[in-house]
Amino acid sequence: MKPIKTAIAALCALAATGTFADEKGTSTTPEEDLKTYQDYFFKRFPGVPLQEFANGIYAVNKISRQNWEAIEEFPPYEPMVDEGEAMWNTPFANGKTYGSCFNNDPAQRKNYPYWDDQRKMVVTLPLTINECRTKNGEKPLKYARGPITRLLAYMAYESRGQKIDVKIPNKDALAAYEKGKSIYWTRRGQLNFNCGSCHMQSAGQHIRTNVLSPALGQASGWPVYRSKWGEMGTFHRRFKGCMKQMRAKPYKPQSEEFRDLEYFLTHMSNGIEFNGPSARE
Amino acid sequence: MRNTARHATIALSLAALFGAASLMPRIAPAEGTNMAAKGREIAWNRKKGNCLACHIMANGVSPGDIGPQLMAMKARFPDRKKLFDQIYDATKRNPSTRMPPFGKHKILSNADIEAVIDYLYTL
């Protein structure tokens, strides 16, 4: 427990400094963060291999895992993958398809999120889908739920097995990463939690009867069919739900804040294979 | 046994306080005093204290396991003020605590916290 506590204390101390990039040069690099975070979870859950963390609480909780394995025999997201494939193949009013924006290859998951140095922003897959639509004269889709989750489910399914490999190519990208990290570690809301309060410090523990998922691997399985929702949702929908549960004012799906958070959080899972879509409680 | 004696003492002193001992409904010792019963309701309510989210408490259904079990509270917090402070803002004692600052963030009123302490002292 001691090293874990020390690591947490170090993380919290980092969090307290805000941006971590202070003038004294004591900030940690993304590479150092990656090692710190992944080592923390390896120590907390001995024997759980890196790839297993892609399965959320089912990697660390035997009882939940049994239910989940039963659910995965007839995955609730399967019809949505088919619907997404139909969307992929259906031309827009102008005759073009989504394929025209994605090199005619739906297996794009490994390319997102990425730092767009021209636009100086983190670009995510859902954002690119909507940019593809508006470029072709179609209305953008809503980001949290609905049709976009179908297309994402199909693209994720086609991308299964691709490795997460988020790159932080330059100083501006690093600033976005740091911003995401700072959002992650900022206490907020009436309950005064940061993301790590639950998903680092309490990962694998129970809040009432719910098991709290480890932060490591959280980026891999989207979109998710969540039994609690009774439908599919996006990564940013879950971010929003988390913030509401902290009794904080949530950011909007695909806001700069959530894109930076996704950038930071996905980088943390570098080396894990994408395995979306997935099913969760 | 000691619990029963303590409940009786508290009940008696409360009764004396209100000066209506004979009119007060009889409270089963296990239920504690009125204040303690109110405190328990606040502690178990998901929208209020929701202490069970993280703490095991006697007879509490579906508790979490993030915080320590709440038992022998009188022995652990003989100083009522210290317990009040801990509930009011636990970050004072431990900056990296996960416990929400119930008083400071107005999740509970001071009166709510006092009632919760009455209940905690029955554990």
Reported as a single tens digit per residue, the pLDDT across B12-62 is 444 444 444 444 444 444 445 799 999 999 999 999 999 999 999 999 999
- Contact by Cβ (8 Å): A164, A219: yes
Q: What is the pLDDT of residue A168?
A: 98
Q: Which residues of A are catalytic?
A: 242
Q: What is the pLDDT of residue A114?
A: 98
Best CA proximity match to A183, nearest among A196, A164, A201, A173: A196
Q: Do A9 and B100 touch (CB under 8 A)?
A: no
What mean pLDDT value characterizes chain B? Answer: 83
| Three-state DSSP class for residue A256 | helix
**Each residue of A169-199: pLDDT tens digit?**
999 999 999 999 999 999 999 999 999 999 9
User: Does A246 score more than 90 pLDDT?
Assistant: yes
Instruction: Give the helix/strand (H/E) hosting A224.
Output: strand A224-226
User: Does A155 score more than 60 pLDDT?
Assistant: yes
Average pLDDT rounded to a whole number, residues A111-132: 98
Confidence band for B91, pLDDT divided at 50, 70 and 90: very high
Task: Give chain A positions within 8 Å (CB) of B95.
Answer: 12, 16
User: Does B71 score more than 60 pLDDT?
Assistant: yes
Q: Do A208 and B64 touch (CB under 8 A)?
A: yes
Task: Give chain B positions within 8 Å (CB) of A193.
Answer: 98, 100
CATH architecture of A1-281: Orthogonal Bundle (1.10)
CA B44 vs CA A69, B54, B58, B83, B119: distances in Å: 33, 11, 11, 18, 11
Confidence band for A11, pLDDT divided at 50, 70 and 90: low
* ipTM entry: 0.85
Rg of chain A over CA atoms, in angstroms?
A: 19
Q: What is the pLDDT of residue B19?
A: 41
Q: Do A191 and B100 touch (CB under 8 A)?
A: yes
Pick the more confident residue, A4 or A34.
A34
Q: What is the pLDDT of residue A172?
A: 98
Q: What is the pLDDT of residue A4?
A: 52
The amino acid at residue B80 is: R
What is the count of residue pairs from A and B with beta carbons less than 8 Å apart? Answer: 42
Q: What is the pLDDT of residue B26?
A: 44
C-alpha–C-alpha distance, residues B99 and A16, integer Å: 17
Q: What is the pLDDT of residue A26?
A: 54
C-alpha–C-alpha distance, residues A104 and A126, integer Å: 17
**Each residue of B99-108: pLDDT tens digit?**
999 999 999 9
Pairing of strands A224-226, A278-280: parallel
C-alpha–C-alpha distance, residues A213 and A219, integer Å: 11
Q: Which of B65, B91, B95 sits opposite A205 (nearest CB)?
A: B65
Average pLDDT rounded to a whole number, residues B115-120: 97
- Inform me whether the C-beta atom of residue A182 falls under 8 Å from chain B C-beta atoms: no
Average pLDDT rounded to a whole number, residues A132-155: 98
C-alpha–C-alpha distance, residues A7 and B102, integer Å: 27
**What proportion of chain A, given as a percentage, has pLDDT over 90?**
90
User: Does B5 score more than 50 pLDDT?
Assistant: no
E strands of chain B, at which residues?
none
**Each residue of A24-35: pLDDT tens digit?**
345 899 999 999
Closest residue, chain A, to B52 (C-alpha): A208
Task: Give chain A positions within 8 Å (CB) of B105.
Answer: 190-192
Sketch out chain B's domains with CATH numbers: 32-120 (1.10.760.10)
Q: What is the pLDDT of residue B33?
A: 75
Residue to substitute from A188, A207, A209, interface B, most B β-carbons within 10 A: A207
Phi, psi of A226, rounded to the nearest 5 degrees = -105, 125
Q: pTM (2 decimals)? A: 0.86
User: Does B2 score more than 90 pLDDT?
Assistant: no
C-alpha–C-alpha distance, residues B105 and B103, integer Å: 5
**Each residue of A46-97: pLDDT tens digit?**
999 999 999 999 999 999 999 999 999 999 999 999 999 999 999 999 999 9
Confidence band for A7, pLDDT divided at 50, 70 and 90: low
Q: Do A201 and B91 touch (CB under 8 A)?
A: no
Task: Give chain B positions within 8 Å (CB) of A209.
Answer: 62, 64
User: Does B70 score more than 50 pLDDT?
Assistant: yes
Q: What is the pLDDT of residue A270?
A: 98
C-alpha–C-alpha distance, residues A262 and A264, integer Å: 5
Q: Do A12 and B95 touch (CB under 8 A)?
A: yes
Residue A18 CA, distance from chain mean position: 22
Q: Which structure tokens are listed for A11?
A: 């993380």
Q: Do B98 and A201 touch (CB under 8 A)?
A: yes
Pick the more confident residue, B36 or B2.
B36
The lowest-confidence range among A135-139, B14-18, B72-76 is B14-18
Q: Please calculate the CA angle B77-B51-A209 and round it to the nearest 5 degrees.
A: 135
User: Does B4 score more than 60 pLDDT?
Assistant: no
Q: Which of A12, A191, A206 sits opposite B96 (nearest CB)?
A: A12
Q: Å from B8 to nearest chain A CA?
A: 32
Interface of B with A in 45-104 (CB under 8 A): 52-54, 62-66, 91, 95-96, 98, 100-101
Q: What is the pLDDT of residue A103?
A: 97
Q: Do B98 and A205 touch (CB under 8 A)?
A: no
